[in-house]
Structure 1
Amino acid sequence: MPGDSAEENPASAPAKEESKTDDKPKEPKEMKAVVLTGFGGLKMLKVQSKPQPTPGEGEVLIAVKACGVNFLDLMLRQGVTDNPPKTPVIMGYECAGTIEAIGEKTEGFSVGDNVIALKECHCWAELASIPAKYVYKIPEGMTFHDAAAIAMNYLTAYIILFDIGNLRSGQSILAHSIGGGVGQAIIQLTKTVENVTLYGTASAHKHESLKPNVTHLFDHGVDYAQEIRKLSPEGVDIVLDCLCGDYTNKGISLLRPMGRYILFGTSSVVTGETKSFFSFAKSWWQVDKISPLKLYDDNKFLAGFQLRQLLFRENQHEYVRQLMDKLFKLYTDGTIKPVIDQVASFEDIAEAMQRLHDRKNIGKIILDPTIQPKEKTKNEAEAEDRAKSDSEPEESTKSETEPEESIDSDSEPEEISPPDTEPEEIIKPDVKPTEIAKSDTKPEAKPKPADAEAAAPADAAPAATADAATEEPKAEETPAEGEAEKTEEEAPAPAE
């Protein structure tokens, strides 16, 4: 009945409120991630808690077990990559792990698959949601650390050696930074072709470990071009350059007829911890303008390769997938095996990236979100604190000195006080103003109130003289005598 329903409404109200409370969306779970808070030095890298992502349409959610650290990450931190993302942003271009969830309309993958994935950032986290077209199943027996070390480095090396460089038996190669992740991949892949002469450049401290695998090894600081010409007067067949700048001109000059110069990096623009416009301009300025007619006359080839551009913007994901299958087969056959320099935790990312910046790594640096950060010694902690303090931007130093400047600027009006306040500071003698006025005025000619203002300048002068004698420091603080006299003249006459 209507009456009964009316009586039941108050009783059902609390239940409805409880259901509304239960229907409120729950706060998303959080995960640990390496976040770039702004472009600059190492202090811009922070390990923060971020909401866990959910896979969208055509995506898979990966529980990350290992991440690759590349020189591209260092350039991104400094903001010298093309079209850098807005900060803050989760860093990382490659990761390996296990699929934890699958989005709608996603085919070819199942929960529990072990995979490698590439993405424009967002890989350095405990969980990553990545489009399935950039995800590749790894073969049995491949570790997550090896998987994270293969993707970008071996893809780059394979493409520039075989698809662009067209490497064949009996040819020669000059490869820069041969000790890094891509360099190690080049060393291993060139062994799949017979009778290849490999010239390499690397830092001096890496030579001992690299000599067994490189035909001729040179330090960056020596005139390697002259040394190579002594060994091979005609030059080399392929130059693989990841540095750019002046290395470009030397590389092109070393090409023999039908030689190929391939640029796949611009790491020479990174000189300090933060972006240097001078280094960027220098690298650009040192590259000579190339004339197609000159290439035509010399029978030389110039090419460039950027995996990120090819995969994410030019949409060549099917081509990349075919190459990944070839690399997996080479790994399974034992032909290639990634060289891992070190494995670090998320919390140790600053130290790992500094090692990469100093070119101390021999092979790939891996991040593992599942391991604990290493304990730092007292000396390491002090060194890190000094490094952070040295890397503070000039703005912070300037801001520390600005308050002192503002205090000085605010104190200037106190030295040149306004007319209505300075008489209070000037007229502070032991003799009362009324006594001075009485001694200076005649008894028979007392000034009237109307005439007091006119007589004020003459009467105030002795008082100002007495004040100047008793307050010498104050007189020195005034910027000019003329201003002091002006303020004294404007002072009101003392009342009797």
Structure 2
Amino acid sequence: MRAIICREHGDLSVLKLEDVPDPVAGPGQALVRIRACGINFADSIMAAGKYQNQPELPFIPGSEIAGDVVALGEGAAGCSVGDRVMGLPGRGGYAELVAVNVNRLTRLPEHLAYEQAASFAVTYGTSHVALAHRARLKPGETLLVHGAAGGVGLTAVELGRIMGARIIATAGGPDKLEIARAAGAHETIDYLAEDIRERVKALTGGRGADVVYDPVGGDVFDASLRCVAFEGRILVIGFAGGRVQQIPANHVMVKNVDIIGVNRPAYDSFAPDVSRASQEELLGWLAAGKIRPLVSRTFPLEQAVEGLKSVVTRKSTGKVVISP
């Protein structure tokens, strides 16, 4: 099969398209022919060798896939050859085939396209666990979403709307802000032209945001800490801005602020009931038409690195996927 392989750590140039042996479904696994694979910022962190749960070299990036089951390993139960599925293999998605534990696969709803399925689990799962489980977002609270037109940010806007929050969305430029408004944002801030702290204060009558959803980090986090409400919660989702912020404990103490880390994949290992409950609620909302994954662009496998570059440079909106 063809696959994008990482054989050394570095920038995105270390990712190469190669012909490699087909994987084999082991005990409790299904072999899936990949029809679509979601691109995530974390894929670039793995290539750099800086991910929290770093795979050993060599490896194939790609943590969320959708496709067709073509073979089953010994003892694999819960799916059949021919099933349309989506899943979270952890890695291996930038390829034509992947072996996945069957307990990490879900049958696709009939109406869901492969591309949408491959853009669902990581982004919506991250935002749902963050907002519902970690921040315990309440109806009527003000939710500030950074990177609101990006992969995870846009899902936070959608889910915040469903959960009854008042949403302030930040993004770079009017086109991205329009995407956030279409997803349900009540107010928007163009961080290229406006001061985040001052605008949030103005929009909330000086009170600040109850919950901040931050996949950007760096300077954006610093601004958030200065416009979060008393007893507010700041969700640390990622560091797409390039700088991992150092948190001043005195600022946290003054306003009794909670700084909450969110690592969604950790729930699969340490609290699988949380992952399952989250996915069940999300699939229900998906079936009811309450959420609609936005796939902004699809790249063929040989252009996967270009797709990842568009995510890393924050030029993309919604979700970017690979279609082998």
TM-score, normalized by the shorter chain, greater than 0.5 = yes
Amino acid at match of 1:151: A
SS of 1:51's partner is coil
Name which of structure 1's ranges 81-90 and 130-139 shifts more when overlaid on structure 2.
81-90
CA 1:303 to 1:62, structure 2 compared with 1: closer, same or farther past 3 Å?
Answer: same
1:357 aligns with 2:312: yes
1:59 aligns with 2:29: yes
Amino acid at match of 1:235: G
Which residue of 2 is the match for residue 225 of structure 1?
A: 197
| Offset, 1:227 | 1.3
CA 1:216 to 1:240, structure 2 compared with 1: closer, same or farther past 3 Å?
Answer: same
1:309 aligns with 2:266: yes
Distance 1:172 1:287 in 2: 25
Contact in 2 for aligned 1:218/1:224 (Cα 8 Å): yes
Instruction: Give the TM-score normalised by structure 2.
Output: 0.92
Q: Matches of residues 363-442 of structure 1 in structure 2 within 5 Å?
A: 363-369=318-324
Which residue of 2 is the match for residue 290 of structure 1?
A: 249
- 2:101 aligned residue (109, 120, 131): 131
Contact in 1 for aligned 2:66/2:85 (Cα 8 Å): yes
SS of 1:153's partner is helix
Which residue of 1 is the match for residue 278 of structure 2?
A: 323
| Offset, 1:187 | 1.9
| Offset, 1:82 | 2.3
Name which of structure 1's ranges 214-223 and 333-342 shifts more when overlaid on structure 2.
214-223
| Offset, 1:37 | 2.9
Contact in 2 for aligned 1:56/1:104 (Cα 8 Å): yes
1:166 aligns with 2:129: no
Which residue of 2 is the match for residue 471 of structure 1?
A: none
SS of 2:162's partner is coil
Which residue of 2 is the match for residue 85 of structure 1?
A: 55
Q: Matches of residues 150-229 of structure 1 in structure 2 within 5 Å?
A: 150-194=120-164, 196-204=165-173, 205-212=175-182, 213-221=184-192, 222-229=194-201
Contact in 2 for aligned 1:133/1:317 (Cα 8 Å): no
Figure out how many residues of one structure are paired with residues of the other and give that number: 320
CA deviation map 1:416-441 (0-9, x unaligned): xxxxxxxxxxxxxxxxxxxxxxxxxx
Contact in 1 for aligned 2:157/2:169 (Cα 8 Å): no
1:333 aligns with 2:302: no
Distance 1:47 1:75 in 2: 18
Contact in 2 for aligned 1:228/1:235 (Cα 8 Å): yes
Instruction: Give the TM-score normalised by structure 1.
Output: 0.61
Contact in 2 for aligned 1:160/1:262 (Cα 8 Å): yes
Amino acid at match of 1:339: L
| Offset, 1:343 | 0.8
Runs of at least 5 residues in structure 1 that lack an aligned partner in the other structure: 1-30, 270-282, 370-496
| Offset, 1:80 | 2.5
SS of 1:199's partner is strand
Distance 1:54 1:347 in 2: 23
CA deviation map 1:334-391 (0-9, x unaligned): 111100110110011122122112211110001000xxxxxxxxxxxxxxxxxxxxxx
| Offset, 1:68 | 0.2
Contact in 2 for aligned 1:176/1:242 (Cα 8 Å): yes
| Offset, 1:323 | 1.8
| Offset, 1:162 | 1.2
- 2:74 aligned residue (87, 104, 117): 104
CA deviation map 1:158-184 (0-9, x unaligned): 111111222222110111100111122
CA deviation map 1:296-346 (0-9, x unaligned): x633322111123332xx343343123222211111111111001101100
CA 1:77 to 1:241, structure 2 compared with 1: closer, same or farther past 3 Å?
Answer: same
Q: Going by fraction, where is helix more abundant, 1 or 2?
A: 1
Q: Going by fraction, where is strand more abundant, 1 or 2?
A: 2
Name which of structure 1's ranges 149-158 and 159-168 shifts more when overlaid on structure 2.
159-168
RMSD value, Cα: 2.0
| Offset, 1:291 | 5.7
CA deviation map 1:213-242 (0-9, x unaligned): 322222333321111112210111101111
Runs of at least 5 residues in structure 2 that lack an aligned partner in the other structure: none
SS of 1:319's partner is helix
1:237 aligns with 2:192: no
SS of 1:268's partner is coil
Identity of aligned residues (%): 27
Distance 1:243 1:186 in 2: 13
CA deviation map 1:230-258 (0-9, x unaligned): 22101111011112233333323322223
Distance 1:211 1:338 in 2: 15
1:44 aligns with 2:14: yes
Bigger Rg over Cα: 1
CA 1:315 to 1:119, structure 2 compared with 1: closer, same or farther past 3 Å?
Answer: farther
SS of 2:118's partner is helix
Contact in 1 for aligned 2:161/2:185 (Cα 8 Å): no
Distance 1:118 1:365 in 2: 16
Distance 2:111 2:247 in 1: 48
